[in-house]
Structure 1
Amino acid sequence: MGFDQEWAQMRAEGAGLRETSMRLNQLPADQGGSGGGSTPNLASSPAQKKAAANTIETELVPDTKKATDFADEATKSAVGAFKGWKTAGGLKTVQETWDKQVKTLLGRLDREKGALRATVTTLSGVDLERKQRIGSVKSNIDAY
């Protein structure tokens, strides 16, 4: 499933969750504070985030660079073929624009990769910190 399809699906699901009625900031009486088995809104999988970051690093970036090199070579040969014509200048402008866009894309991919890896670290660190804080609380039950 491509990004556009996944985004459209998520938007459709989100639209289905919208409520048009007023909702008070409390749990409904029938749940009694037990959570009622509702589905959590945040699902975090460190393994999937690491896999996505690795895919960016090992597939997307190298494949993008290969495609760029191929396009640059083809454009250079076309510029040479049209030497002395205005078309050559136009092709050079297209190549410069292409190179800027590729640079922007590669920067974006690098930031996304870093963000995915940082999220894994941050969420894992928060979990460990909470575990340590909870474990450090003394309880009278421990005496029995």
Structure 2
Amino acid sequence: MKAIEEHIQPDTAKAGAWADEDTGSAVKAFAAKDGDGWVTSGALKKAHGTWGGQVKNLMDRLDAEKSALRGAGTVLQGTDHGVGAQALKIRQPSPLDRY
């Protein structure tokens, strides 16, 4: 969970921002200046839109995985506490407990 929060999500967001800037520059460079642009401009724009959707899906998936890991941690911690409490109830008092 820590790796997701501190490395994977921030690095993915940085990569997405970097790609946005560079792709935007490329789309403008290939765009129409005199009425006729390169087909590459439209193709880049479409590919960038698809890629942006994939990055969003990845970020959403990482959020879901973080939530699942937190939930699993809570369940396991609760189980540990429950088992510990049961162990205390089952144990018979010893005469040495008073010392």
- What TM-score range do you get, normalising by the shorter chain? 0.7 to 0.9
1:59 matched to 2:7? The reply is yes
Query: Percentage identity across aligned positions?
Result: 44
Task: Provide the C-alpha distance between the structure 1 equivalents of 2:91 and 2:6, rounded to a whole number of angstroms.
Answer: 47
Q: Distance in 1 between matches of 2:39 and 2:68?
A: 44
Residue aligning to 1:30: none
Q: Find the partner of 1:77 among 13, 25, 28.
A: 25
SS at match of 2:90: coil
**What TM-score does the superposition give when structure 2 sets the normalisation length?**
0.81
**Count of residue pairs the alignment pairs up:** 90
2:50 paired with 1:97: yes
Question: RMSD of aligned C-alpha atoms?
Answer: 1.6
Unaligned ranges ≥5, structure 2: 32-36
Per-residue CA distance 1:81-125 (angstroms, 9 max, x = gap): 111222111011101011000001111111122222222211111
- Uncovered stretches (5+) of structure 1, i.e. residues with no partner: 1-52
Deviations 1:37-57 (A, max 9, x none): xxxxxxxxxxxxxxxx11111
Offset of residue 133 of structure 1: 2.2
Give 1:136 shift.
2.1
Bigger mean CA offset, 82-91 vs 96-105: 82-91
Per the alignment, in what secondary structure is the counterpart of residue 61 of structure 2?
helix
